[in-house]
Amino acid sequence: MMVAPLDGIRVIDWSHVLAGPACSYYLGLLGAEVIKVERPGRGDAMRHRGGTDKARAAGGMSTAYLTQSAGKQSLALDLEREAGRAVFERLLKSADVLVENHRPDTLTHLGLEEEATRAINPRLIHCAMTGYGRGNAMADAPAYDVNIQAISGLMALTGTTETGPLRTGAPIIDYATGMAAAMAVMAALIQREKTGQGAFADVSMLDTAFALMSSTITDYALTGTEPKARGNAANSRSPSSGVFACAEGRISLGVNEEAQFRALAQALGRSEWLSDPRFADPVERNRNGAELGHAIAVALAGRSANDWEEELMAAGVPCAKLRTLAEALALPPAEQRGFARRGAAGYCGLPFQIQHASQPNGAIPPQALGTGTQAILRDLGYSETEIQRLADQGAVTCSSQ
């Protein structure tokens, strides 16, 4: 029997930009009903920025917005108005989860801090995503992905002494925070099954960045050695790991174990390394790391990365040719598993598959601002007359698109 793990769970997505909307999108892919609450007028700012398609962005449907907006109904609601706030309270009473990424000061201004939302609905899971989490002097500081990459030390680890610190090429902190928040929500839902009570989930972008650097942090804590940018060298610090130039293209080697090194030497036609006193055992290889790295580079320079990848993989050597995104999406695992199109309405999906879990088939495509307003209000018990009055007051915006 196919089931959706979160079938019957209603999620209110009162968030913006990437991390919050990504969290609710993931929950929707697992079967939750998701209602996205946006301010009337421009809605989520991400509707109008992100990606290279300027025409879509100008129309309020940027590619960055489309990525995590399928499967959601759009409710255009002005929470600054008393009538809009009353609608939101009724919505919260019907919900299982609230996902938001506003600063605590904003919540206090609107009277929607976690104590207030939990008073409205004691079974509610209130998931709050902020740059630095609650309970510290930076709790109200604004933050985007690029800021967290800078302040967390992640950028200082990326690049080389020549390039200086570099941001990763994609907003990995945003999406990792969205995943962390989705995990927190699911854990809180399981907890609610045991206690009958809702909970507040405090999700920090900085904590998430630290989680992505866990082994580096542990090494620093135990040794006091300040980590430095290593460019394309592997974290294992093995001299036979890293990215090497080939006759055409580049290849990444992950040769960390003795058996892997023996396989590499034989596949490269350098069996003499196995008896060379400089490279014969791991201690000497590390001591003569620069020489070994040079020797590997010379060996690889004779053929293309394509050729080496095929041969080295066949020999059991962990390796991968450096690819562009277009090339990566054409790989058999990407094409056959369909990540880029298996999500709601054919957009990117979850990075895992669960046996017997139903997939989001024919889900709601990303909606124009306010498209779901009338249907949502009717579901909450508002009459047509009341809906029109709310619209006349500017508390809601209805759209037929």
pLDDT digits (tens, 9 = 90+) for 45-89: 999 998 899 999 999 999 999 999 999 999 999 999 999 999 999
Would the pLDDT of 94 be above 70? yes
Residues 95, 14 contacting (CB under 8 angstroms): no
Instruction: Order across the sheet with 33-38: list the strands.
Output: 199-204, 125-130, 97-100, 10-14, 33-38, 72-77, 396-397
Mean pLDDT, to the nearest integer, of 178-195? 98
Residue 77, SS3 per DSSP: strand
pLDDT at 50: 85
Which residue in 78, 145, 174, 202 is the catalytic one? 174
**What confidence tens digit (pLDDT) does each residue in 98-134 have?**
999 999 999 999 999 999 999 999 999 999 999 999 9
Question: Is pLDDT above 70 for 400?
Answer: no
High-pLDDT (> 90) share of the chain, %: 94
* Interatomic CA distance for residues 128 and 132, integer angstroms: 11
* Rounded distance between C-alpha atoms, residue 401 and residue 238, angstroms: 57
Domains and CATH numbers, the chain: 10-212+337-395 (3.40.50.10540), 241-245+250-321 (3.30.1540.10)
**pLDDT tens profile 312-336:** 999 999 999 999 999 999 999 999 9
Active site residue 174: yes
> What confidence tens digit (pLDDT) does each residue in 344-378 have?
999 999 999 999 998 776 789 999 999 999 999 99
What pLDDT is attached to residue 18? 97
Distance of alpha carbon 157 from alpha carbon 155, whole angstroms = 5
pLDDT of 203 over the 70 cut:
yes
